[in-house]
Amino acid sequence: SQQGEEDPQALSIQEGENATMNCSYKTSINNLQWYRQNSGRGLVHLILIRSNEREKHSGRLRVTLDTSKKSSSLLITASRAADTASYFCATDAERRFGAGTRLTVKP
């Protein structure tokens, strides 16, 4: 079964708006990570949140983790056109990714 299922599959917003993406997983984890992919090539690690953390910030990124619901959310505030990319989550097993959320930020 897939770990790290993201929703929505696609999200289109205007520059300056906030974007929220969600991730669900199935098993116990030590940590959960969010990655970004531009143009169908390598993924770039964005942020890691450990199972004993509930919220973490990095610049315009805010990640929350609810281990009771086995879910996480990634919030990008004040979005920019350059944030246009696909976003994936993965748990510490790192062997399963979901289909990702395709974010489009319109200028």
C-alpha pair distances (Å), 17 with each of 8, 72, 74, 75, 100: 16, 20, 14, 11, 20
Instruction: Scan for tokens 């929505």, then name that residue.
Output: 8
Q: Which of the ranges 12-20, 53-61, 67-75, 84-92 carries the binding residues for other proteins, by CB under 8 A?
A: 84-92
Q: Does the footprint of other proteins cover residue 40 (CB under 8 A)?
A: yes
Size of the site for other proteins (CB under 8 A): 23
Binds other proteins by CB under 8 A, chosen from 25, 33, 83, 85: 33
Binds other proteins by CB under 8 A, chosen from 1, 42, 68, 107: 42
- Quick check: 92 and 41 in contact, CB under 8 A? no
Binds other proteins by CB under 8 A, chosen from 12, 17, 28, 50: 50
Q: Is 61 helix (H, G, I), strand (E, B) or coil?
A: strand
Interface residue list for other proteins (CB under 8 A): 30-31, 33, 35, 40-45, 48, 50, 88, 90, 92-100
